[in-house]
């Protein structure tokens, strides 16, 4: 970061060096990019493609797309205007999204976040986007406060569709607002917008198997539509080239072996067109990277299906500056009343409904399950220990992401079979603990797999929670990563990992192994206790599925779930009152997104002729 700041100080005009931490007072982000020597079309494309978050985000986009064959293509982006709910109603809709996905699997509604569509997708050139946001600002200013609150919604179900429809008279008012925006868009930006003419609604589920209807309908009826809600008029855009492509999320890194292959970085997205797959080999697909714009072949099992809206870009209103946006354009679901430009708020919130009566709500018993942090052998390879040993076999770290010292854990074979976490893994774990502390989440008991990486992760979570001197970590051998154990071979050297502990936890059905115990022995039974389990990727599924009364998955489906769980993946399972029924719920902390940082050798990079 220091090097990057030095670079900026050399190339930025002196009058623009003031207030580097925020937006430039003397000029817009576009002017800053132009002063750095970027051509205007490229600068505009970078700002629009990143939602105008910052100069640095735009620069990073430009540098990562330097080999993009479409970098100088003047093709416009596609835009859409939505009403997005926030507040208590949004929380209920998110809960419905989560529970319907768990209960019945993904349906077409899950491709996009909850919303009311106000117009059809339309195209806008990059140099007109600022004027387009000004058009939205002008429309919102005129219409703010003219809508009833709460917005009247009515549940409708059919054999393959479930939605909340806006009452007709209010829907007509919303359509007038959309028409005014369309008129402003033509006047200010010369952009044609077609207002949505069909019935306005929030789609809850559609295109699902008919036998899922009873479960989905039951969940939909649990949504309290009269809860407080801020409705936000928001603009999103997408790359028009990939409108009809499948969106895939990269799960594992891949280094190309041939010229026609695509490099994969976890966290990136890949667009795949079914048309381009005709000539690919089995197990390989052809796609284009969101992060780089490059295309090529990639192994199919290194990616998973993502939601369409995961790659959409959020665009703010002019009052916060089109090119001074604050939101993460890659995460449209991160929008909140505090983050979204205030001018987009068109329906004032009503008072949040409160539970009446003199009895306080009984605390729920909650089980939190967390995967361990980044591990040494994954980052540095299975022979990592040889990279940081001197001539006498003593440990000497050779990379800043290696811990300064290793804990006493037996001989070298023990480390080979049971690697510790990296420095970044420790940081990840402390971040989770700090987030739990900030959310006022109490942890009463901590259970942990005997794997060294899990013990270290649990310790660092407790450090972040400021509970490392008060709470004890209870090592439970039954939580070890049983999916990696093969009878008669390669047993971990740790004395904790005894076959006797595995036998009651695993049952065999047609040679398929399932976890039959969902929580470790000694799980506290008193109401209100919160228990944290720190274990492996498989634990998030195995420790919660049977607890919810759900039958085990097939080995194939189970593996697909496990592969999607990142380091410090975190889930929450709550007991519903005194009914004995448990359900997955939104965790009290935000997710932790992270990606690889390849080893940098300045000799190989900077001394190249």
Distance CA 433, CA 368 (A): 12
* Identified catalytic residue from 375, 453, 536, 545: 536
**Residue 123 CB-density burial (10 A; 0-12 exposed, 13-18 middle, 19+ buried):** middle
Does the active-site annotation cover 348?
no
8 A C-beta contact, residue 374 and residue 593: no
**Residue 61 CB-density burial (10 A; 0-12 exposed, 13-18 middle, 19+ buried):** buried
Does the active-site annotation cover 603?
no
Does the active-site annotation cover 127?
no
The residue among 441, 506, 462 whose CA lies nearest residue 480 is 506
Identify the H or E element spanning 346. Answer: strand 345-347
The residue among 478, 454, 455 whose CA lies nearest residue 371 is 454
Distance CA 345, CA 325 (A): 16
**SS3 (DSSP) at 309:** helix
The stretches of 37-196 forming alpha helices (DSSP H) are 40-49, 55-64, 88-104, 129-143, 168-189
Rounded to whole angstroms, what are the CA distances from 178 to 131, 173, 423, 463, 515?
Answer: 17, 9, 51, 51, 53
Distance CA 73, CA 293 (A): 12
* Identified catalytic residue from 372, 375, 430, 453: 372
**Residue 85 CB-density burial (10 A; 0-12 exposed, 13-18 middle, 19+ buried):** buried
| DSSP conformational letter for 338 | T
**SS3 (DSSP) at 272:** strand
8 A C-beta contact, residue 39 and residue 28: no
Inter-helix orientation angle 423-438/452-465, to 10°: 40
Q: What is the DSSP string of 89-107?
A: HHHHHHHHHHHHHHHH---
- CB within 8 Å of 325: residues ≥ 6 apart: 51, 52, 53, 314, 315, 316
8 A C-beta contact, residue 415 and residue 409: yes
- CB within 8 Å of 515: residues ≥ 6 apart: 482, 505, 506, 538, 542, 543, 546, 552
Q: What is the DSSP string of 224-251?
A: -TTS--EEEEEEEEE-GGGTTSEEEEE-
* Identified catalytic residue from 42, 77, 371, 453: 371
Q: Catalytic site residues?
A: 371-372, 536
């Amino acid at each position: 970061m220091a090097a990057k700041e030095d670079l900026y100080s050399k190339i930025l005009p002196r009058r623009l060096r003031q207030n580097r931490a925020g937006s430039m007072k003397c000029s817009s982000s576009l002017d800053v990019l132009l002063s750095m020597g970027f051509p205007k079309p490229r600068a505009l494309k970078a700002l629009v493609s990143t939602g105008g978050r910052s100069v640095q985000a735009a620069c990073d986009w430009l540098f990562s797309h330097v080999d993009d064959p479409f970098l100088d293509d003047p093709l416009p982006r596609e835009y859409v205007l939505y009403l997005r709910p926030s507040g208590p109603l949004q929380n209920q809709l998110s809960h419905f999204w989560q529970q319907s996905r768990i209960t019945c699997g993904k349906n077409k509604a899950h491709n996009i976040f909850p919303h009311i569509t106000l117009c059809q997708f339309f195209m806008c050139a990059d140099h007109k986007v600022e004027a387009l946001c000004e058009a939205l600002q002008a429309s919102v200013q005129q219409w703010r406060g003219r809508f009833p609150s709460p917005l009247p919604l009515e549940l409708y179900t059919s054999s393959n569709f479930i939605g909340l429809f806006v009452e007709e008279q209010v829907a007509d008012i919303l359509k007038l607002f959309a028409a005014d925006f369309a008129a402003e868009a033509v006047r200010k930006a010369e952009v044609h917008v077609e207002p949505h003419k069909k019935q306005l609604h929030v789609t809850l589920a559609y295109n699902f198997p008919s036998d899922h209807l009873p479960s989905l309908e039951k969940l939909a009826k649990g949504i309290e539509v009269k809860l407080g809600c801020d409705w936000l008029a928001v603009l999103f855009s997408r790359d028009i080239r990939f409108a009809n492509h499948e969106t895939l999320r990269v799960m594992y890194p891949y280094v190309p072996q041939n010229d026609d292959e695509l490099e994969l970085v976890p966290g990136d997205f890949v667009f795949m067109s079914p048309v381009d797959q005709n000539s690919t080999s089995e197990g390989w697909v052809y796609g284009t990277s969101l992060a780089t714009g490059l295309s090529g072949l990639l192994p199919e099992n290194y990616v998973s299906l993502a939601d369409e809206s995961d790659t959409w870009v959020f665009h703010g209103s002019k009052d916060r500056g089109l090119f001074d946006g604050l939101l993460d354009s890659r995460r449209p679901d991160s929008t909140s009343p505090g983050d979204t430009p205030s001018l987009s708020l068109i329906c004032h919130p009503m008072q949040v409904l409160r539970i009446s009566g003199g009895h306080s709500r009984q605390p729920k018993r909650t089980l939190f399950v967390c995967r361990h942090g980044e591990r040494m052998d994954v980052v540095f390879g299975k022979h990592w220990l040889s990279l940081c040993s001197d001539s006498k076999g003593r440990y000497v770290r050779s990379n800043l992401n290696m811990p300064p010292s290793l804990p006493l854990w037996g001989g070298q074979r023990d480390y080979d079979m049971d690697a510790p976490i990296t420095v970044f893994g420790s940081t990840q774990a402390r971040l989770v603990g700090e987030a739990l502390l900030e959310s006022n989440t109490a942890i009463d008991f901590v259970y942990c797999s005997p794997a060294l990486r899990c013990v270290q992760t649990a310790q660092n979570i407790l450090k972040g929670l400021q509970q490392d001197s008060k709470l004890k970590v209870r090592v439970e051998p039954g939580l070890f990563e049983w999916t990696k154990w093969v009878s008669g071979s390669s047993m971990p050297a740790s004395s904790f990992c005894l076959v006797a502990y595995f036998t009651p936890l695993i049952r065999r059905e047609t040679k398929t192994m399932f976890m039959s115990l969902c929580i470790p022995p000694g799980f506290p039974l008193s109401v209100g206790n919160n228990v944290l389990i720190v274990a492996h990727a498989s634990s998030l599924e195995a420790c919660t599925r049977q607890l919810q009364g759900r039958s085990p998955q097939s080995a194939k489906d189970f593996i697909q779930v496990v592969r999607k769980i990142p380091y410090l993946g975190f889930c929450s399972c709550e007991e519903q009152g005194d009914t004995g029924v448990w359900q997955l719920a939104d965790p009290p902390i935000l997710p932790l997104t992270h990606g690889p940082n390849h080893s940098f050798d300045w000799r190989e990079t900077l001394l190249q002729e």
